[in-house]
């Protein structure tokens, strides 16, 4: 089978449009339509059905995509290993998955290193959906992810640093010690962050200890936390590194939690067996060096 047909198939699947696929591949739309027609005959399946949303893949197309995508990635990596990679001149696009908390804390040092070493390249940040990261890595939709919980199915990881959780509070809050008492903690109105962010360890510990906290606000993002905590006398459980950052920017403080909360690792995750693409190797090493 012509490898170009498979590339056309993958691009149609990812874009959901013959027109956008043609643009991505730098060919004409009739060329993409012709490639799709040949594939339909060879595979005896329509592969895509036109719908108001675009080109909707059939079940057979989805099965093929999940197999073909990583296979093409291995072929590309094999070819790339024979080439010299120069980050200073590359115009490649790299994709990194981060939570919004990761964007706040990790993106500035990553961008400094990325912009310095690869000034002509593009970095796309994919918002964290913790239940989807493993699939994204398998399908090659992201090159790497930084997460504070283990990514099931990820083939490789490196620990960047150790972290622990604390309770962030308004600066005006007074306590008898550096650690909150259980009664103080339970009496505070809390902000809870959606578990899709990857920060759900504290909730699990509280549930296992049958400790209830009064949740006054539920958010899907961390970015607005310091302003809300400072202006509304709310409390929130966040990593120490983040609490220190918040305290430097807003009138907030932090205290140790009144119960045992295991420390955790912040790690960089990726997939890929040998041969390893030199570009992807550089990308991962750049992130690890920037964050360590």
Q: Where in the chain is the domain with CATH 1.10.10.10?
A: 3-80
Report the mean per-residue pLDDT for the chain.
Answer: 87
Q: How confident is the model at residue 108 (pLDDT cuts 50, 70, 90)?
A: very high
**Whose CA is closest to 147, among 9, 49, 287?**
287
What CATH architecture does domain 3-80 belong to? Orthogonal Bundle (1.10)
Q: Where in the chain is the domain with CATH 3.40.190.10?
A: 93-162+265-291, 165-262
Token code pair at residue 272: 């890929």
pLDDT given for residue 113 in this prediction: 96
Q: How confident is the model at residue 85 (pLDDT cuts 50, 70, 90)?
A: confident
CATH superfamily of 165-262: Periplasmic binding protein-like II (3.40.190.10)
Report whether CATH 3.40.50.970 matches the domain 93-162+265-291: no
**178 backbone dihedrals φ, ψ, rounded to 5°:** -70, -20
Q: How confident is the model at residue 275 (pLDDT cuts 50, 70, 90)?
A: low
The string of pLDDT tens digits covering residues 156-182 is 999 998 999 999 999 887 766 677 888
The string of pLDDT tens digits covering residues 192-232 is 888 777 777 888 888 888 888 888 998 888 888 888 898 88
Residue 27 reports pLDDT greater than 90: no
Distance of CA 40 to the CA centre of its chain: 34
């Amino acid at each position: 089978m012509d490898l170009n047909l498979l590339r056309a198939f993958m691009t149609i699947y990812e874009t959901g449009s013959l027109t956008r696929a043609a643009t991505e591949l730098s060919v004409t739309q009739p060329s993409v339509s012709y490639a799709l027609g040949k594939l339909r005959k060879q595979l005896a399946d329509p592969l895509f059905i036109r719908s108001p949303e675009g080109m909707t893949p059939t079940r057979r197309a989805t099965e093929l995509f999940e197999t073909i995508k990583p296979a093409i990635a291995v072929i590309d990596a094999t070819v790339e290993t024979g080439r010299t990679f120069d980050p200073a001149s590359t115009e490649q696009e790299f994709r990194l998955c981060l939570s919004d908390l990761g964007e706040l804390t990790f993106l500035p040092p990553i961008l400094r290193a990325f912009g310095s070493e690869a000034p002509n390249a593009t970095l796309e940040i994919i918002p964290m959906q913790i239940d989807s990261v493993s699939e994204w890595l398998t399908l090659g939709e992201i090159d790497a992810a930084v997460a504070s919980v283990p990514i099931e199915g990820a083939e490789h990881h490196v620990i960047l640093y150790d972290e622990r959780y604390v309770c962030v509070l308004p600066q005006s809050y007074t306590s008898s010690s550096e650690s909150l008492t259980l009664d103080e903690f339970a009496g505070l109105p809390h902000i809870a962050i959606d578990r899709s962010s990857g920060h759900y360890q504290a909730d699990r510990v509280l549930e296992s200890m049958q400790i209830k906290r009064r949740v006054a606000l539920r958010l899907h993002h961390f970015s607005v936390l310091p302003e809300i905590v400072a202006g509304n006398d709310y409390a929130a459980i966040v990593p120490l590194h983040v609490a220190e950052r918040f305290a430097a920017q807003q009138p907030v403080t932090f205290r140790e939690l009144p119960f045992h909360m295991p420390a955790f690792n912040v790690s960089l995750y990726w997939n890929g067996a040998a041969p390893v693409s030199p570009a992807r190797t550089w990308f991962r090493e750049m992130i690890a060096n920037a964050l360590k």
